[in-house]
Structure 1
Amino acid sequence: MIKGIGTDLIEKRRVERSISKFGNRFIKKVLTEKEQQEYQTKKTTEKKVSFLSNTFACKEAVCKALGTGFSEGITLKNIEVLREASGNPYLKLLGKQKRKLQKAALKTLP
Protein backbone atom coordinates (compact mmCIF):
# COMPACT_ATOMS: atom_id res chain seq x y z
CA MET A 1 0.00 0.00 0.00
CA ILE A 2 1.25 3.48 -0.80
CA LYS A 3 1.68 5.33 2.47
CA GLY A 4 1.89 8.86 1.13
CA ILE A 5 2.19 11.06 -1.87
CA GLY A 6 5.76 11.47 -2.96
CA THR A 7 6.69 14.87 -4.26
CA ASP A 8 10.02 16.57 -4.00
CA LEU A 9 11.50 19.83 -5.21
CA ILE A 10 15.18 20.54 -5.43
CA GLU A 11 17.20 23.65 -6.16
CA LYS A 12 19.43 23.01 -9.13
CA ARG A 13 21.92 25.55 -7.78
CA ARG A 14 22.45 23.37 -4.69
CA VAL A 15 23.10 20.34 -6.86
CA GLU A 16 25.50 22.32 -9.03
CA ARG A 17 27.40 23.49 -5.92
CA SER A 18 27.59 19.90 -4.63
CA ILE A 19 28.99 18.71 -7.96
CA SER A 20 31.55 21.54 -7.90
CA LYS A 21 32.53 20.88 -4.30
CA PHE A 22 32.53 17.07 -4.19
CA GLY A 23 32.75 16.04 -7.86
CA ASN A 24 32.59 12.32 -8.59
CA ARG A 25 32.23 11.48 -4.90
CA PHE A 26 28.81 13.19 -4.86
CA ILE A 27 27.77 11.63 -8.17
CA LYS A 28 28.74 8.13 -7.01
CA LYS A 29 26.80 8.59 -3.77
CA VAL A 30 23.58 9.56 -5.58
CA LEU A 31 23.62 7.58 -8.84
CA THR A 32 23.74 3.85 -9.55
CA GLU A 33 26.19 2.55 -12.17
CA LYS A 34 23.56 2.68 -14.94
CA GLU A 35 22.53 6.20 -13.93
CA GLN A 36 26.18 7.28 -13.92
CA GLN A 37 26.55 5.99 -17.47
CA GLU A 38 23.55 8.04 -18.57
CA TYR A 39 24.84 11.08 -16.66
CA GLN A 40 28.14 10.89 -18.57
CA THR A 41 26.29 11.09 -21.91
CA LYS A 42 25.06 14.61 -21.09
CA LYS A 43 27.09 17.12 -23.08
CA THR A 44 26.73 20.32 -21.04
CA THR A 45 27.02 21.16 -17.36
CA GLU A 46 23.43 22.42 -17.44
CA LYS A 47 22.16 19.08 -18.75
CA LYS A 48 24.23 17.15 -16.21
CA VAL A 49 22.90 19.28 -13.34
CA SER A 50 19.35 18.89 -14.64
CA PHE A 51 19.71 15.11 -14.94
CA LEU A 52 21.17 14.76 -11.45
CA SER A 53 18.58 17.10 -9.92
CA ASN A 54 15.67 15.28 -11.53
CA THR A 55 17.01 11.86 -10.56
CA PHE A 56 17.66 12.93 -6.96
CA ALA A 57 14.17 14.46 -6.60
CA CYS A 58 12.58 11.31 -8.03
CA LYS A 59 14.40 9.10 -5.53
CA GLU A 60 13.32 11.32 -2.63
CA ALA A 61 9.70 11.24 -3.85
CA VAL A 62 9.73 7.43 -4.03
CA CYS A 63 10.84 7.20 -0.41
CA LYS A 64 8.11 9.61 0.63
CA ALA A 65 5.46 7.64 -1.26
CA LEU A 66 6.59 4.38 0.33
CA GLY A 67 6.69 6.01 3.73
CA THR A 68 10.25 4.85 4.36
CA GLY A 69 12.43 7.89 3.95
CA PHE A 70 16.11 7.12 3.87
CA SER A 71 16.31 4.94 6.95
CA GLU A 72 16.92 1.35 7.93
CA GLY A 73 19.77 1.04 5.44
CA ILE A 74 17.83 2.44 2.50
CA THR A 75 20.02 4.71 0.38
CA LEU A 76 19.77 6.71 -2.81
CA LYS A 77 21.37 3.81 -4.65
CA ASN A 78 18.48 1.47 -3.74
CA ILE A 79 16.33 3.37 -6.24
CA GLU A 80 17.31 3.43 -9.89
CA VAL A 81 15.65 5.94 -12.22
CA LEU A 82 15.96 4.77 -15.80
CA ARG A 83 14.54 6.25 -18.97
CA GLU A 84 12.88 4.72 -21.98
CA ALA A 85 14.00 5.76 -25.47
CA SER A 86 11.15 8.29 -25.40
CA GLY A 87 12.65 9.87 -22.29
CA ASN A 88 9.89 8.67 -19.97
CA PRO A 89 11.29 7.63 -16.60
CA TYR A 90 10.67 4.32 -14.89
CA LEU A 91 11.95 2.89 -11.63
CA LYS A 92 13.93 -0.12 -10.67
CA LEU A 93 14.02 -0.75 -6.96
CA LEU A 94 16.97 -2.58 -5.51
CA GLY A 95 17.73 -4.26 -2.20
CA LYS A 96 15.56 -3.19 0.73
CA GLN A 97 13.44 -0.89 -1.43
CA LYS A 98 12.39 -3.80 -3.61
CA ARG A 99 11.42 -5.91 -0.58
CA LYS A 100 9.49 -3.00 0.94
CA LEU A 101 7.67 -2.53 -2.34
CA GLN A 102 6.76 -6.21 -2.51
CA LYS A 103 5.48 -6.03 1.06
CA ALA A 104 3.32 -3.11 0.00
CA ALA A 105 1.89 -5.34 -2.76
CA LEU A 106 2.81 -2.96 -5.54
CA LYS A 107 3.82 -5.29 -8.31
CA THR A 108 3.67 -2.90 -11.22
CA LEU A 109 7.30 -1.79 -10.92
CA PRO A 110 10.16 -3.97 -12.16
Structure 2
Amino acid sequence: MNLYAESVEGVLLVRVDEERLDAAIAIRFKDRMREVTAQPATRVVLDMSQVEFLDSSGLGAVVAVMKALAPRRKLELAGLTPNVAKVFHLTRMDSVFRIHAAISDVTEEGIRNAG
Protein backbone atom coordinates (compact mmCIF):
# COMPACT_ATOMS: atom_id res chain seq x y z
CA MET A 1 0.00 0.00 0.00
CA ASN A 2 1.68 3.14 -1.21
CA LEU A 3 0.62 6.31 0.60
CA TYR A 4 2.68 9.48 0.70
CA ALA A 5 1.93 12.30 3.11
CA GLU A 6 3.13 15.84 3.55
CA SER A 7 1.94 18.68 5.69
CA VAL A 8 1.34 21.98 3.89
CA GLU A 9 0.07 24.98 5.85
CA GLY A 10 -1.73 22.87 8.46
CA VAL A 11 -3.22 20.54 5.85
CA LEU A 12 -2.12 16.91 5.75
CA LEU A 13 -2.05 15.92 2.07
CA VAL A 14 -2.10 12.15 1.58
CA ARG A 15 -1.51 10.79 -1.92
CA VAL A 16 -2.73 7.29 -2.76
CA ASP A 17 -0.17 5.91 -5.20
CA GLU A 18 -2.22 2.90 -6.30
CA GLU A 19 -4.32 2.29 -9.41
CA ARG A 20 -6.91 0.29 -7.49
CA LEU A 21 -8.50 0.73 -4.11
CA ASP A 22 -10.38 -2.53 -3.79
CA ALA A 23 -10.95 -5.51 -1.50
CA ALA A 24 -7.37 -6.70 -2.02
CA ILE A 25 -5.87 -3.64 -0.32
CA ALA A 26 -8.72 -2.03 1.64
CA ILE A 27 -7.53 -3.28 5.04
CA ARG A 28 -3.93 -2.20 4.39
CA PHE A 29 -5.24 1.19 3.23
CA LYS A 30 -7.13 1.70 6.51
CA ASP A 31 -4.11 0.61 8.56
CA ARG A 32 -1.71 2.92 6.69
CA MET A 33 -4.15 5.83 6.89
CA ARG A 34 -4.39 5.32 10.65
CA GLU A 35 -0.57 5.58 10.86
CA VAL A 36 -0.31 8.55 8.51
CA THR A 37 -3.12 10.56 10.08
CA ALA A 38 -1.54 10.30 13.53
CA GLN A 39 0.31 13.46 12.48
CA PRO A 40 -1.32 16.62 13.76
CA ALA A 41 -3.15 18.63 11.10
CA THR A 42 -6.33 20.66 11.05
CA ARG A 43 -7.45 19.10 7.74
CA VAL A 44 -6.75 15.80 5.98
CA VAL A 45 -7.04 15.70 2.19
CA LEU A 46 -6.80 12.41 0.31
CA ASP A 47 -5.37 12.80 -3.20
CA MET A 48 -6.96 10.03 -5.27
CA SER A 49 -5.76 11.22 -8.68
CA GLN A 50 -3.87 7.93 -9.29
CA VAL A 51 -6.81 5.67 -8.36
CA GLU A 52 -8.56 4.40 -11.50
CA PHE A 53 -10.78 1.80 -9.82
CA LEU A 54 -12.70 1.85 -6.54
CA ASP A 55 -15.01 -0.96 -5.43
CA SER A 56 -17.37 -1.17 -2.47
CA SER A 57 -14.57 -2.37 -0.17
CA GLY A 58 -12.42 0.57 -1.18
CA LEU A 59 -15.31 2.97 -0.66
CA GLY A 60 -15.97 1.38 2.73
CA ALA A 61 -12.32 1.87 3.67
CA VAL A 62 -12.46 5.57 2.75
CA VAL A 63 -15.65 5.98 4.82
CA ALA A 64 -14.01 4.12 7.74
CA VAL A 65 -11.09 6.57 7.66
CA MET A 66 -13.54 9.49 7.62
CA LYS A 67 -15.30 8.08 10.69
CA ALA A 68 -11.98 7.44 12.49
CA LEU A 69 -10.99 11.10 12.02
CA ALA A 70 -14.35 12.47 13.18
CA PRO A 71 -15.27 14.64 14.96
CA ARG A 72 -11.90 16.43 15.34
CA ARG A 73 -11.02 16.43 11.65
CA LYS A 74 -12.83 15.93 8.38
CA LEU A 75 -11.53 13.86 5.50
CA GLU A 76 -11.62 15.71 2.20
CA LEU A 77 -10.97 14.18 -1.23
CA ALA A 78 -9.18 15.56 -4.26
CA GLY A 79 -8.47 14.58 -7.84
CA LEU A 80 -11.10 11.90 -8.33
CA THR A 81 -10.73 10.16 -11.68
CA PRO A 82 -13.96 9.78 -13.72
CA ASN A 83 -14.57 6.15 -12.68
CA VAL A 84 -14.00 6.91 -9.00
CA ALA A 85 -16.10 10.08 -9.16
CA LYS A 86 -18.93 8.01 -10.65
CA VAL A 87 -18.84 5.62 -7.65
CA PHE A 88 -19.04 8.55 -5.22
CA HIS A 89 -21.89 10.08 -7.22
CA LEU A 90 -23.92 6.86 -7.60
CA THR A 91 -23.61 6.10 -3.88
CA ARG A 92 -24.33 9.75 -2.99
CA MET A 93 -21.10 9.87 -1.06
CA ASP A 94 -20.28 13.02 -3.03
CA SER A 95 -22.73 14.77 -0.69
CA VAL A 96 -20.90 13.42 2.38
CA PHE A 97 -17.33 14.36 1.43
CA ARG A 98 -15.93 17.72 0.43
CA ILE A 99 -14.43 16.98 -2.98
CA HIS A 100 -11.82 19.18 -4.68
CA ALA A 101 -11.20 18.90 -8.41
CA ALA A 102 -7.41 18.73 -7.88
CA ILE A 103 -4.95 18.73 -5.03
CA SER A 104 -3.64 22.08 -6.28
CA ASP A 105 -7.06 23.57 -5.48
CA VAL A 106 -6.52 22.67 -1.83
CA THR A 107 -3.11 24.32 -1.55
CA GLU A 108 -4.23 27.41 -3.50
CA GLU A 109 -7.28 27.68 -1.22
CA GLY A 110 -5.00 27.53 1.81
CA ILE A 111 -2.85 30.33 0.43
CA ARG A 112 -5.91 32.48 -0.29
CA ASN A 113 -7.31 31.84 3.18
CA ALA A 114 -3.97 32.72 4.77
CA GLY A 115 -4.50 36.33 3.78
Question: Same fold judged by TM-score > 0.5?
Answer: no
Give the TM-score normalised by structure 1.
0.27
More helix by share: 1
Higher relative contact order (CA closer than 8 Å, sequence separation 6+):
1
The structure whose residues are more often strand, as a share, is 2
